[in-house]
């Protein structure tokens, strides 16, 4: 019946199309409790059946996120330090890197590296590894700017005081500047986590078996996109806010006493 209705509306105006898309299906279903109840049961069953498969995808997604955030962190911190304290050649080189990775769509980067550069360099990488590398290199560009901002927010007095005690610059960066800058960076970093998590779904395009790829796989085989993508969305929401929550807790845990939300308590 549903299908007949769709066919009948071929010449429909925009108004009636809108009506059919958003209003008509619920009304239609309203007169079909039984069919609807049967569909709900079937859909729930499908979700439960697919859940282990989808959750494996969620693990792959978390692997992507963990790997690329970690890579971005390891490269991003020295980049920020180089930009603030390095000589002008190093600083320029880093700016160029940031300029490149921030200037291109993620999908272009993925294709460029996975189908292009990695092959050209003779690297035989799995889609998963390639995705971590590309997302990680890209995240390094963004993370370096988070850390750079944090370092610059500290004020030069911290460095002057450390040097005046007789610390080498490198020692001062490690034991005075970074411990403070990293604390300040947690909110920005938490934002980067959420962004990377959502961006990771694009690796679908090179066939990484993450959450969305698997959801799509089931959806095309069962012709039931709605319940599957709904489940997929719910898992993504959990991952997003779960991670953000965990990072908020971390921020509270390492907060310097006397400061509340960046302001003085007393």
Binding site for other proteins (CB under 8 A): 157-158, 160-168, 171, 175-176, 179-180, 183, 256-259, 264-266
Cβ distance to other proteins smaller for residue 24 or 158:
158
Least Å distance, CB 169 to other proteins, is 8
At 263, is the secondary structure helix, strand, or coil? strand
Q: Cα–Cα distance between 45 and 82 in angstroms, integer?
A: 54
Q: What single-letter DSSP state applies at residue 256?
A: P
Cβ distance to other proteins smaller for residue 182 or 209:
182
Cβ distance to other proteins smaller for residue 13 or 164:
164
Cβ distance to other proteins smaller for residue 167 or 250:
167
Q: Cα–Cα distance between 171 and 237 in angstroms, integer?
A: 41
Least Å distance, CB 160 to other proteins, is 6
Token pair, residue 54, equals 């989808």
Cβ distance to other proteins smaller for residue 134 or 162:
162
Query: Which candidate, 151, 145, 144, places its Cα nearest to that of 178?
Result: 151
At 109, is the secondary structure helix, strand, or coil? helix
Least Å distance, CB 79 to other proteins, is 22
Least Å distance, CB 84 to other proteins, is 17
Beta carbons within 10 angstroms of residue 219's beta carbon: 18
Least Å distance, CB 162 to other proteins, is 8
Query: Alpha carbon of 51 to those of 68, 182, 207, 254: distances in Å?
Result: 25, 37, 20, 36
Cβ distance to other proteins smaller for residue 178 or 239:
178
Longest CA span, the chain: 83
- Alpha-carbon torsion, ordered 127, 128, 130, 135, to 10 deg: 130
Q: Is 207 left (phi over 0), alpha (psi -120 to 50) or beta?
A: left
Least Å distance, CB 165 to other proteins, is 4
């Amino acid at each position: 019946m549903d299908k007949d209705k769709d066919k009948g509306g071929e010449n429909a105006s925009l108004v009636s199309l809108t009506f059919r898309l958003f209003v008509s299906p619920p009304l239609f279903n309203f007169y079909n409790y039984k069919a609807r109840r049967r569909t709900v049961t079937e859909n729930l069953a499908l979700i439960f059946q697919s859940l282990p498969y989808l959750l494996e995808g969620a693990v792959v997604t978390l692997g992507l996120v963990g790997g690329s955030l970690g890579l971005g962190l390891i490269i991003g911190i020295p980049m920020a330090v180089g930009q603030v304290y390095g000589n002008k050649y190093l600083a320029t080189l880093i700016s160029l890197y940031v300029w490149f990775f921030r200037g291109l769509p993620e999908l272009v980067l993925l294709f460029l590296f996975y189908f292009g550069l990695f092959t050209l360099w003779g690297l035989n990488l799995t889609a998963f590894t390639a995705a971590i590398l590309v997302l990680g290199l890209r995240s390094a560009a963004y993370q370096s700017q988070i850390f750079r901002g944090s370092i610059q927010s500290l004020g030069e007095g911290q460095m002057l005081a450390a040097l005046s005690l007789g610390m080498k610059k490198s020692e001062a960066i490690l034991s005075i500047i970074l411990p403070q800058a990293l604390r300040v960076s947690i909110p920005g970093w938490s934002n980067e986590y959420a962004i990377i998590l959502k961006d990771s779904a694009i690796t679908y395009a090179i066939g990484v078996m993450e959450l969305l790829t698997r959801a799509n796989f089931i959806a095309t085989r069962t012709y039931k996109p709605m319940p599957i993508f709904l489940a997929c969305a719910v898992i993504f929401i959990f991952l997003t806010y779960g991670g953000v929550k965990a990072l908020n807790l971390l921020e509270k845990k390492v907060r310097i006493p006397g400061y509340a939300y960046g302001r003085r308590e007393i």
